Chains A and B, each alone.
Chain A
Amino acid sequence: MLGKLMKYEIRATGRIFLPLYGLILLSAAILRGFMAANEKANNLFTMPINITGTIYFLLIAAVFVMTLVVMIQRFQKNLLSDEGYLSFTLPVKTHSHIDAKMLVTLIWIILSVLVIILSVFILAVNQNVILSFEKSYLPFSDWFTSQSWLFVEYIVLFLVGSLSITLHIYASMAVGNLCPKHRLLAAFGAFLGFGVIEQIVATFMAIWRVTSLDDTADLSIVILFAGVFGVAYYFFTDWVLSKKLNLE
């Protein structure tokens, strides 16, 4: 059932992200074209470059904003508003809804990063860049072999951190559902409140053991920190949605 939920979740969100990705790649390609033309045509294309460049950066900003907006909107609309009447009467477990939503959010976060990297490649890759890659490949592979664990940790931190933030927001919206009269205020207050709790715990952790990010052992503590909070948010959200649901 998780697969089916994810299928419909991807459909509902893909219609926003896929066109956006297309536009980013297209604007990067156009920008690249103008820049190439500009070199040959004696700065004739400065204006189009400025315009396309601005559009390109606005689109990248839009991807970040939309990831957040869609994450919030899907949870609110599909689970906590009218559509919740259908979602919660489908024969699936409550946690499957949370699973589907957070995993699809993670998929879009990852894809957004990849699309942005790809667009930078479209913009910047030429012979010189490729050559410099070749030059830096050996030192990089040396670094990678010696620091591969750190690299893996950064990836894990990125994934766990993304899920943890997503669940932090879900848990806040779940609190909003508990206060029918002031949903938005309660959700916003809960978001800040959970943040304060995280900060307090982090402060105590810093007192007991100084954390610095360039040490591998400490990075795993950061992962653990995000993971523990993520799990707590997950179970809290599941508890609210299964036991305390109160649709408008």
Chain B
Amino acid sequence: MESAVECHNLTKVFPGCIALNSINLAIPKGQIVGLLGPNGSGKTTFIKLLNGLLTPTSGQILINGMKPCIETKKNVSYLPERTYLNDWMAVHDIIDLFCDFYADFNKAKAYDMLQRLGIDPRNRLKTMSKGTKEKVQLILVMSREAELYVLDEPIGGVDPATRDYILNTIISNYSENATLLISTHLIADVEKILDGVIFINQGSIVLSATVDEIREKENKSVDALFREVFKC
């Protein structure tokens, strides 16, 4: 199977800490994969390397066979774990910005989702709650018809009802060719949509398997296995 993402001995060292330790990994195309691990395990570092926000210390990370560059950025839709939108623009201005820069942005889809979540596109981000901002960001990211979606803690700051809507949004906007990488520690919530999981701890891959494999071999849910593997 062709890989959406490949890592070869990927290492990232920060002063005084090895964030990722020689990772080898292949994420097949067309799957929803959970990147799961405790806080500080290297999830966000991995995702930043994937998006070219960091450069590897050694080894390489490939998206569709390419190192992170303009071409990969055209095809990767990334939701960071923080608010990355400025607060003075109105939502419709930000939609225009996404339209301007991303050829794969679907404006109609974005407005449709805004309407369903009851967000007025004329509102400025300044006036919104943290949860609403997160919803806006997720709408922007999922309105792209990208090949790879990378979502870093997409449901962390929203209430359980919206969480369900967001997960549905993610699934319904996910085409067969697209790959989804979701980083989270809310495993029980995302488990039902995952095809595969990657357990990461202290910069190393602990486990990489499909959800079916885990259920068959271990006879456990991913959540239960996670609790076992990362027991404190």
Contacts and interface: CB of A to CB of B under 8 A. Distances in A.
Contact of B53 (A1, A12, A89): A89
B84 A245 contact: no
Contact of B51 (A4, A77, A89, A243): A89
Contact of A85 (B70, B84, B88): B84
B73 interface: yes
B172 interface: no
A63 to B, nearest CB: 20
B85 A88 contact: no
B129 interface: no
Interface string A227-248: 0000000000000001111110
For chain A, which range describes its interface: under 10, 10 to 19, 20 to 34, or 35 or more residues? Answer: 20 to 34
B92 interface: no
Specify the main secondary structure of chain B where it touches its partner. Answer: loop
Interface stretch (B94-102, B115-123, B153-161, B206-214): B94-102
Contact of B102 (A91, A93, A243): A91
A127 to B, nearest CB: 46
A83 B85 contact: yes
A8 B97 CA distance: 8
A15 interface: yes
Interface string A98-129: 00000000000000000000000000000000
B73 A90 contact: yes
A100 to B, nearest CB: 12
Interface of B: 14, 48, 51-55, 70-71, 73-74, 76, 78, 80, 82-86, 88, 97, 100-102
Q: Give 9 closest A-B pairs by Cβ, nearest first.
A: A85-B84, A91-B73, A85-B80, A86-B84, A91-B74, A90-B101, A91-B70, A4-B100, A89-B78
